[in-house]
Each structure stands twice: as structure tokens, then as C-alpha cells.
Structure 1
């Protein structure tokens, strides 16, 4: 009997003798390591979120400042939204797979190499789509107060849910449907109450154009993100940070080239020198406004790309919407936009719709963590035994 008990105490676990103290340390280390990685993940996500929120808010306000101080070129305002992409090129070299091995968080883990022709067509199509999206945003900023513009941009969540349903197999839930209804009502309130909106004397016809362009830009932006995710699934089949950077840089290059063509074809290039001279804050301020608008859009893009890499394109769109209720408050402070009762109601509905969307993501995250913890616990027990 004693021999049997001694043999039982000396059973091997993974090629070593069982030691209760060492086994406890072994299991604890397996648990602590994922926790440490989880904390690092939250730090990265928080950093990218800060980049996205700060960059998008600053870029929106600078875009409005360009118009308010004498800028009038829609193509120039569109140009700066993509022209800052060269500052991302060093990141592309740094995160290149040849110098750094990056954990692939691919939706489809199989690695495939698409043809050069396929990639060229993909980047060309996305770049032209991005050009149209940026142009519509430029018209929206020109013809709308910043507060109204930002609240209308909140509809991108509704469009994102729609495109994700058809293109990315996104499931509708009661919370998502609630978000769609609230955001639609919020936009409708702004649409029917256009009379006292303009603080710069914009005619109602141009207000309607700005309203429709902003809605179209929100829809196009959501379609763009869904198509990026679909491109990773069907063509690129990998989702490293370098691949996401390529998805940002090459379409931005196409969009920038398209803007240059549009700038000269429309004749606006001839008026840029006069526009610079007549800018209320001077030539230096004119150039700095354009440069910092381009830089802040790229800071926003880095945050957007980081969230796509760490979480998903859907989550990055949700965080992007988080900046929208903040911008109207800043617009009231810096541009003296009116914040009347209808706009406040629209703002509250937009925030409510956003929180409903975030809560759905929170519930999904809890379920995902529960499944992951269950799998890790079972895996640790199997390895110990």
C-alpha cells in the first residue's frame, strides 16, 4: 500500500515528477502571463483611442477654421485629408515583417498572396472611394456649422451596422436597432430645423447640400471600413499592422493624386495664391492650418489603424463616433455656434444611440472573455495533468 501511494506521488506531469508547489507556480505563471498581455493590450487600445479622438476632433476644428478665415477651395480641403500619408511610411518600414515578426490577427488565418493586378485594382478603387468621401466631408464642413456637421456624422454608426450586416455578417441585436433608431431621429431633427442653423449666412439651399453631403460622407466612410475588412477576408487574408498601414498608405496616395488632378481641372489651383494673401490670419497661418490639418488627420488615421489591428474595423468606427458629441461643445467655445434646444436634443439622442452601441460591444466582449477563460483553464489543466 505504501509503495502504491509513493508511486502515485511520483507520477510524472509533462516529463517531470509531480511537485504540488512547483505545479502551483506553473499554473499561476500560465494565468499571470495572459493577464499581463491583457493589460498591455488595454494600454495599446487606450493609446490608439486617444490618437483617434484627439486627431479627429482637432482635424475637424482646423478644417472649419480654414473656411472661417478665408479659405474657399473644396479640393484643397479634400487634399489635406489624405496628403499627410508620407508620415506613415517610416511606420511601414518599422513594422515590416522582414524586421519585426508581428502576431497575425487575421480573420482568416490562411496566408495568401494576391496578385499585383488585384492589389492595384483594390487600392485604386478604395482610393477613389476615399476621394469622394473626403470631398463630401469638405462640402459638409463648408456649408454647415461644426456642431451640426459632427452630429450628422454620428449616422455613420447606422450605416456601418447596415453595411456590416450585408458585407461582414454583422448580427443585429435589440441594442443595435435601438442605436439605429435614435441616430436616425437625431439626424431628422437637424434636417427639419435648418432655419436658424447657419452662423455664416449660408443660404438654405447650400445648407441642404451640406446636409446631404455629410450624410453621404458618413455612408461612404462606413462602406469604406466594411470594404477594408472584406478585403482582408477575401484578398489579403492577413491582418498585420504592416498590412493595415499598406491599406491606409496606398489608397491615400491614390486619393491625393486624384485631388491634385481635381485641383487643377477645376481651376481652383489658380486662386490658391490669392486665397493665401487674403487669408485673415496671414500666409504663415494659412500654411500652418493646412499642414496641421493634414498631420492631425494622419494622427487620427494611426489611431484608426491601431484599433483595426488590435480589435476590428467596426470597433474603430464606434470609437470614431465617440468624438462627435465632443466636437459640438468645442465648436460652441471656439466658433460660437448656436446650441439651441433642438440641437441639444439631437446631441442627447446621438449620445444615447452611441452608448447603446457601446453597451452591445461590452456584452459581446464579456461573452468572448468567458469563452477564452474557459478554454485557457481547460488547457492549463490538461497540460498539468
Structure 2
């Protein structure tokens, strides 16, 4: 019994999505898909809004990279009500009794590592968003799926198939293609050197994010070993808390905190707009975090990244509408390659689902034949 329950806690996320949440009843399946849908909405809406607000911050006169980085993590107190909702009962369940909780030292090391990693990754994303047009930035971020798949192969036992390999190649080409676009778009605002720096920082941030997602999935499976949503919210809060502390230290060490007041007063849209931009950026990133970590918990890190990649067409379209950025031929081709890569990955999941259903039917027939013979 113990071995069976331990195996249940280590079910691979890809198997969960292939099963479509099919469990012992239709109600379980229905509730599972609702949770996946809600997490997906959180990822897509939070990511799109936060990215647009981040670009708006720089467009309207914001200059502090540390402040732009801080708002990506400092909204973690929004998770406190959710943690209270999922407080464990005083009487531990059978699963809690069987599963040994990790020591506080282990948890401290885990959250410190992830928090410090998150702070560094957010700073890289900030440099990318500051130096690149937001449409170019979002398309380069699609490469995080390729990096995540690579790290998942080594850390999470993710299997490669021709369609997944095709997906990774297309996403890589999609990002690389943007290096070779003409200078006409960015020369009016930024130098070619800053463009290259922004590109390198965004690619590095995407690689770091892919590694962090795979590490988070591995932590859920090997260290936390829990089926509680409280664990998900704890992961968000402590990881963001440590990241925020590290970023605040950087903010004061760099001396940028002295310029915040002047930056606020010189903001084109006024002080209120400046504050509201930072507040809603922080809220949006926390909504994204809830959806992202929730999908890792329910399915896998790679699936979470795929959903994030699904938002590729959203930000460039919004950038054209609100920031009047140009969608040149290179960007259009890069977007089509990214969408094609995403479709290849989803099609592989479809094939896996069809194969699983066929194997289940064969197994049921064999059981029926055995019963008839008996």
C-alpha cells in the first residue's frame, strides 16, 4: 500500500495531461480540466498585461532597472489569503502521515536557490525589455520552451520524439531569425550595441527560466512530495520573498533609489499613473506566477512553458495596437515559425493521447476475454 501511494505521488506530469485528468469519476475529470483552464488564463493574461505594462514604464520615462525588476516579484503578499484557504488540517491525512516532510534546512536551501535564481533571471528580462521592442522581446522569449525541453530531458525524464524535436528546432530558428532583421526599427531609439545586449540578455533569461521550471518540477517530485495546493502557494511566496530581498539590496546598493522620486515626478503620465503602473505590473506577474506554478504542479514544467508560449501572438499584436510598433516580414516569419513549433508540440500530445486510448481498449478487451474463458 505504501509503495503504491509513493508511486502515485511521482506520476509524471505528461501522463496527467495525456490522461486528461481522467480519474475514478467524471466529476474528478471535470474539476481537473477547470483547474487547468483557470491556470492557463492566469498565465496568458498575467504574462501579456505585465509585459505591456513593463514596456509602458520605460516608454513613459521610467529608467530604474532595479525597480522594473522588483515589481516582477514584490507582489507575493497577494498569495497570503490563498495560503490561509489551503492551510493543512490539524489532523494529518493518511497521505501526510506516510509522506515525510522535508526539514526546514532543506526548504531554506531550496527557496534560497530558487529565489536568487529568480532575481537574476528577472534582471535579465528587464534588460531585454528595456533594449528591445516589446514584439521582438516576446518572440525571443519563445525560445524558453526549447531550453525547458532540453533541461526537462536531463532533469525530469522528458522523452524526445520527432515532433518535439521539430518544435524545438522551429522555436530556436524563430528566435535566432530576429538577430538578422534590419536596423531600421531600432536605430531611431537605441543603438545596435544595446539591441544585441538586449537580445543576449533575453535569450539568457529564457534559458534560465527554462532551467528554473525544470528544477521546480524536480523539487515538487523529489523534495516537497506533496499533493497540497498550499505547497504551490508556499513555493511562490518564499521564492518571491527571497528574490525581492535580493533585488531591494541591489536597488539600494546601486544608488538608484535616490532617483525614484525624480523619476516619479518626471513620468509623462503623472505620479498616479507611475504608481498604478508599478502596482498593476506586480499584480499581473503574481497572477502569471499562480498559473505557471499551478500548471507545473498539475501537469509538468514543459506543459506550463508551452502554455506560456501560446501567448506569443498576443503581445506583438498588442504592441502594434498600443505602441505602434511595426510588424515587418522577419517578425511575421518568426511568429509563424514559433506558432508552428507550438503546434508540433501539441500534436505530439494528441498522438500520445490516441496511443494511450488504443492501449487501454486493447487491455480492456484482453481482460474481457480472460473473464469469458474463466
Q: Which interval holds the TM-score relative to the shorter structure?
A: 0.7 to 0.9
In structure 2, the residue matched to 1:111 is: 99
CA distance in 1, matches of 2:91, 2:65: 40
In structure 2, the residue matched to 1:364 is: 352
Q: CA deviation at 1:306?
A: 2.4
Distance of aligned partners of 1:180 and 1:32 in 2 relative to their CA distance in 1, 3 Å threshold: closer
Distance of aligned partners of 1:111 and 1:103 in 2 relative to their CA distance in 1, 3 Å threshold: closer
CA distance in 2, matches of 1:99, 1:373: 43
CA distance in 1, matches of 2:213, 2:258: 35
> What pairs up with 1:367-378 in 2 under 5 angstroms?
367-368=355-356
CA distance in 2, matches of 1:223, 1:39: 31
3-state DSSP of counterpart to 1:337: coil
CA distance in 1, matches of 2:134, 2:93: 39
In structure 1, the residue matched to 2:203 is: 215
CA distance in 2, matches of 1:85, 1:192: 39
In structure 2, the residue matched to 1:84 is: 75
1:211-239 deviations in Å (ceiling 9; x for gaps):
00000110000100100111122222224
3-state DSSP of counterpart to 1:165: helix
In structure 1, the residue matched to 2:16 is: none
- Name the count of aligned residue pairs: 351
User: Structure 2 length normalisation: TM-score?
Assistant: 0.87
Q: CA deviation at 1:66?
A: 0.4
State whether residues 214 and 301 of structure 2, in contact with CA within 8 Å, keep that contact through their aligned partners in structure 1: yes
Distance of aligned partners of 1:114 and 1:334 in 2 relative to their CA distance in 1, 3 Å threshold: same
Distance of aligned partners of 1:201 and 1:277 in 2 relative to their CA distance in 1, 3 Å threshold: same
Q: Is 2:337 the counterpart of 1:346?
A: no
Long gaps (5+) in structure 1: 1-30
Distance of aligned partners of 1:249 and 1:213 in 2 relative to their CA distance in 1, 3 Å threshold: same
State whether residues 102 and 240 of structure 1, in contact with CA within 8 Å, keep that contact through their aligned partners in structure 2: no
In structure 2, the residue matched to 1:175 is: 163
Q: CA deviation at 1:364?
A: 2.6
Long gaps (5+) in structure 2: 1-21
In structure 1, the residue matched to 2:266 is: 278
Distance of aligned partners of 1:367 and 1:182 in 2 relative to their CA distance in 1, 3 Å threshold: same
1:61-91 deviations in Å (ceiling 9; x for gaps):
0000000000011110110000001101111
In structure 1, the residue matched to 2:286 is: 298
Q: Which moved more, 1:131-140 or 1:304-313?
A: 304-313
State whether residues 110 and 238 of structure 1, in contact with CA within 8 Å, keep that contact through their aligned partners in structure 2: no
In structure 2, the residue matched to 1:189 is: 177
> What pairs up with 1:144-163 in 2 under 5 angstroms?
144-163=132-151
CA distance in 2, matches of 1:36, 1:373: 22
Distance of aligned partners of 1:371 and 1:197 in 2 relative to their CA distance in 1, 3 Å threshold: farther
Q: CA deviation at 1:97?
A: 2.1
Distance of aligned partners of 1:150 and 1:376 in 2 relative to their CA distance in 1, 3 Å threshold: farther
Q: Which moved more, 1:291-300 or 1:224-233?
A: 224-233
State whether residues 102 and 241 of structure 1, in contact with CA within 8 Å, keep that contact through their aligned partners in structure 2: no
Distance of aligned partners of 1:200 and 1:138 in 2 relative to their CA distance in 1, 3 Å threshold: farther
In structure 2, the residue matched to 1:250 is: 238
Question: 2:40 aligned to 38, 41, 49, which one?
Answer: 49
3-state DSSP of counterpart to 1:170: coil
Q: CA deviation at 1:367?
A: 3.9
State whether residues 112 and 235 of structure 1, in contact with CA within 8 Å, keep that contact through their aligned partners in structure 2: no
Q: Is 2:60 the counterpart of 1:65?
A: no
1:8-40 deviations in Å (ceiling 9; x for gaps):
xxxxxxxxxxxxxxxxxxxxxxx9972232122
State whether residues 41 and 291 of structure 2, in contact with CA within 8 Å, keep that contact through their aligned partners in structure 1: yes
Q: CA deviation at 1:93?
A: 1.6
CA distance in 2, matches of 1:160, 1:102: 34
Distance of aligned partners of 1:369 and 1:130 in 2 relative to their CA distance in 1, 3 Å threshold: farther
Q: Is 2:28 the counterpart of 1:40?
A: no
Q: CA deviation at 1:151?
A: 0.3
Q: CA deviation at 1:249?
A: 1.0
After superposition, the CA RMSD in angstroms is: 2.8
